[in-house]
Structure 1
């Protein structure tokens, strides 16, 4: 029986993935910042709910150790925890810039470094990083989020080669819009009342973004199934695009020049 460790399992994609893998007969280490508030996952058989905050290194190692102690081994690490900062870059505080990278980038690096000794000892393992189509195409007012996801794309691709000789696979899953609380607690608004020049454009883009979230979204369950597909795929496939909107966007990017694609994006948010 295989075991997966999931970060950010308290809601959205992480929770759906924990439930789906459990239903498929896997052991699941469902990690979150406040496990004491969890009331659903800890009722499932073969699910261990424990604390892991990706910005606190001690909790990362502790969660991995508890998972190994409880289930004997870990086969797959799913780096799912993340959020987005939204707004004009000029208005971003130093704290907002650093937090975006602490969670979305450095948190991923910490968990991978912490689990690699276990994977090397077992001479096998798999790392699945939740990236996004935002790691290969950009939208206005999400510059910090895009920067973090493009970093994960490049990091993961390089790591793919680096770990192959150790029989450790690296994969990325790239969802599009997902029906989660992404626009709620997972969105950090960047604002500065003194920068009035950005107000009208920000309101326009936000309206368009909300329309997209309401009309072109995938369920967390669909993303969970794509993650499962990646986890059980024995091939060396690296990318898994998840969601019809994501597939459309990647197809549009591939079939157009940068100038044409960027004009398409710009016109979409006028």
Structure 2
């Protein structure tokens, strides 16, 4: 039987690299894309991985990567949209340009890659699209408002799209990780403007640090997350939503089961400075 092929965005590190290796280890052909493939030293050594350039903000590179992948392996069966980045800081100190860039990668980039691969899936009369979202598209934390805005947008877009594409036999799945041992915060952008002194209480609060310390033992590794995502892709169902990890479960449960007032009170008590 001919091996299936997956194209993955953002494979230079974190989830993306782990997903590429997981699928390759399972015998899939992998089109591993990233902005600077010339820097990649590991994935290029794996026989059934084809590394090529794709910058989700550069539509020409999106088209080229899809075309090259099809030329290399004959067809693409699955798209995994993973490329994203964070933006952490006080909203007032974050520039409009930074916010637009956050949406350009985390929302419009996903949309553009999907739009460009859909003609291929229509020609094949089937396909699977997986968007890697975040539980940050369900619940929020302070100092991450633009990031959460992109993840909430991705939630709505992906759910609506799933109904639409079901009519052409293309399955859409949304993966929502909680936290993982990735370099998310290390690689996140910081505000480009000075932070007003009035925000010092929230900026210097240890609430977020205490929260992540409390749940750090429940964090999934990138390898565990990659195996979970592989199973979601290959489970043979049209299931839409998959949550990875248990660390945010208490907050998710309260939001689902309690009143809005009770949920907000819990979040404030956990996250805001005393």
Query: Does 2:167 correspond to 1:171?
Result: no
How far apart in 2 are the matches of 1:191 and 1:197?
A: 17
Q: Aligned partners of 1:53 and 1:45: how far apart in 2?
A: 23
Q: Aligned pair in 2 of structure 1 residues 194, 149: CA closer, same or farther (>3 Å)?
A: closer
1:76-115 → structure 2 map (5 Å cutoff): 76-115=78-117
What is the deviation of 1:263? 1.4
Match of 2:194 in 1: 193
Q: Is the 8 A contact 2:15 2:82 kept in 1?
A: yes
Residue of structure 2 equivalent to 1:21: 23
Q: Which residue of 1 aligns with 2:34?
A: 32
Task: Give the equivalent residue in structure 2 for 1:219.
Answer: 221
Distance 2:209 2:190 in 1: 14
- Tell me the CA shift for residue 115 of structure 1: 0.2
Alignment-derived partner of residue 233 in structure 1? 235
Once the two structures are TM-superposed, the CA of residue 194 in structure 1 deviates from its matched residue by 5.3
Q: Work out which of the residue numbers 36, 40, 43 in structure 2 matches 1:41.
A: 43
Distance in 1 between residues matched to 2:53 and 2:6, nearest whole Å: 15
Q: How does 1:71-150 map to 2 (within 5 A)?
A: 71-150=73-152
Quick check: 1:241–1:247 contact (8 Å CA) kept in 2? no
Give the Cα–Cα distance (whole angstroms) in 1 for the partners of residues 212 and 247 of structure 2.
15
Q: Which residue of 2 aligns with 1:65?
A: 67
Does 73-82 or 214-223 show the bigger shift?
A: 214-223
Contact 1:87 1:191 in 2 (8 A): no
Aligned to 1:242: 244
Q: Which runs of 5+ in 2 are unaligned?
A: none
TM-score computed with the length of structure 2 as normaliser: 0.94
CA distance in 2, matches of 1:176, 1:253: 15
Q: Is 2:156 the counterpart of 1:154? A: yes
Cα 1:194/1:162, change in 2 over 3 Å: closer
Cα shift at 1:257? 1.5
Distance 2:155 2:195 in 1: 35
The change in CA–CA distance for 1:180 and 1:236 in structure 2 (over 3 A counts) is same
Q: What stretches of structure 1 move > 4 A for 4+ residues in a row?
A: 212-216
Find the aligned partners of 1:256 and 1:191 in 2 and give their Cα distance: 38
Compute the TM-score of the two structures, normalised by the length of structure 1. Answer: 0.95
How much does 1:249 deviate?
Answer: 3.5
Distance 1:170 1:194, change over 3 A: closer
Q: How many pairs are equivalent?
A: 269
Superposed CA RMSD: 1.5
In 1, distance between residues paired with 2:126 and 2:141? 37
